[in-house]
Amino acid sequence: MLQFITLLSLALALVRGLAIPGLKPRSDGAPAPLQLDFNVSKSIGGTSAKEFWAHHNAVTKRDAYREVAVDYHDTAYHVDVYLGSNQQKATVVLDTGSSDLWVPSDGYNPSTSSSSADTGQQFSIEYLDGSSSTGEFYTDTVKFETPNPVIPSLQFARAGKSGGFGVLGIADRNQEAASTQYDNLPWALQKAGLIPKASYSLFLGPDEGSGSLIFGGIDTDKFSGDLVKYNIPSGAGSLSVNLQSATFNGNTIAVNSPIVLDSGTSLGLLNSALMKELDAIFSTTIVNEGGIQYRYTSCNQPSDQYLQFNFGGNSISIAYSDAIIGQGSSCLLGFGWYNDIEIFGDVFLRSAYVYYDLTDQTISLAQAAYSDSSNIVAY
């Protein structure tokens, strides 16, 4: 059953800025960009991406950041994180729609790590089915894949529920599930001197393979054309940009409203005017479930025709063939409708190269380029 869920930041965490061993400076003395490669796959350790998202669709009791997302992830973007003095391996899924790092209980055992410290803080998650899970916060060493440096004391949440995977939320501090703001991972890296600004670029890559998250830098071989900077709209409660218009089949429709960029969402949401145009292009069959409109369409779509989304300084194009998601022998259109809420999920983000600058409150966009080469520079 397809269903939309509310995706919130999932735990309260506090990140303390510390000196980080293993940091390699650039030739000018500034920190070099920190690259985290992640896997793009249909499953993680034998669990399908869809099953993962069904397991982890939870809401906090505190309604800090409300957004509608789709429980139809056929692709997951995941990275391994190593916690504690004994480097306990946990798999976490990358999410630009939440701001907190947390792992399930079997992903981290504090009693086996000599560097673990219990903060005494509790954390609670309430699931959509009415069940709940409590947990605790610890500080401990955190490391990503070699050769990335060790973060000596990072606070993260250990959920009481076991099984499944955690979440690496990298959105801004105003999306934290906390009563007061704190320095989450991007801000903690900046505070520690690892990166000059709380910023990162995101390249999701194709359906399966690998993508790249680069703190404090960009990969110029992973996009084409200009990387154009846009201000995050004033008062926005999420990482969003203003979408001026969309051009479908030669017809341009004005939008002029903020749209959220969220890697933790599979399908996108568009307003009724845009969906009407897409219905005509893709000859969709509309299915209503719980007030949500999904679109089924033919899986046979051309790769030389495009949906174009215009932001003012540049546009991002999505091939018709990339605008659908397979479901067995049938396919879903990668965009749906719910109360005219507007979100760009992975269907859009796979065609875009995005640089998030939390310090300057800007987002830069370019057309993604699937290239085997890499040229990482500070930005």
**Is 262 an active-site residue?**
yes
Whose CA is closest to 201, among 377, 29, 24?
377
Residues 194/337, Cβ–Cβ less than 8 Å: no
The question of whether 118 is a catalytic residue gets the answer no
Give the whole-angstrom CA distance, residue 274 versus residue 258: 14
Q: Which of 95, 100, 172, 219 is catalytic?
A: 95
In single-letter form, the type of residue at position 332 comes to: L
Which residue in 172, 183, 219, 262 is the catalytic one? 262
**Rounded Cα gap, residues 355 and 214, in angstroms:** 9
Residues annotated as catalytic (active site), given as ranges: 95, 262
